[in-house]
Amino acid sequence: MPRKKNRARERAPHPGGPKVMGAEAPEWAERPGFEVRTSFGSTKAYRCPGCDHEVREGVQHLVILPREAIDERRHWHTECWRIELRRLGI
């Protein structure tokens, strides 16, 4: 039986570096030029740029970080990000 190569996915920009909050985002949520993380809930509410409604505390959502401006992170409802990607045709 051939052994599968255990190839680590090379998506983490800072292996062993400072931790970006949350976990890796699902593959469908990736967008070129952006770091996408899953947040399992924040301690404060954010405004989702997709629907202009609150992402409530403790609600799982996505955090989108432009690679060019990593401080400009945005908190999106998972579904709003899905719609956004569809709208952009990605």
Question: By the criterion CB under 5 A, which residues form the site for Zn ion?
Answer: 48, 50-51, 77, 80
Tell me whether residue 27 or residue 52 sits nearer to Zn ion (CB atom). Answer: 52
Could you tell me the smallest distance in angstroms from the CB atom of residue 78 to Zn ion? Answer: 9
Could you tell me the smallest distance in angstroms from the CB atom of residue 87 to Zn ion? Answer: 13
Could you tell me the smallest distance in angstroms from the CB atom of residue 35 to Zn ion? Answer: 19
- Phi, psi for 42 (deg, rounded to 5): -100, 170
Cα separation, 86 vs 27, in Å, equals 14
CB neighbours of residue 73 within 10 Å: 17
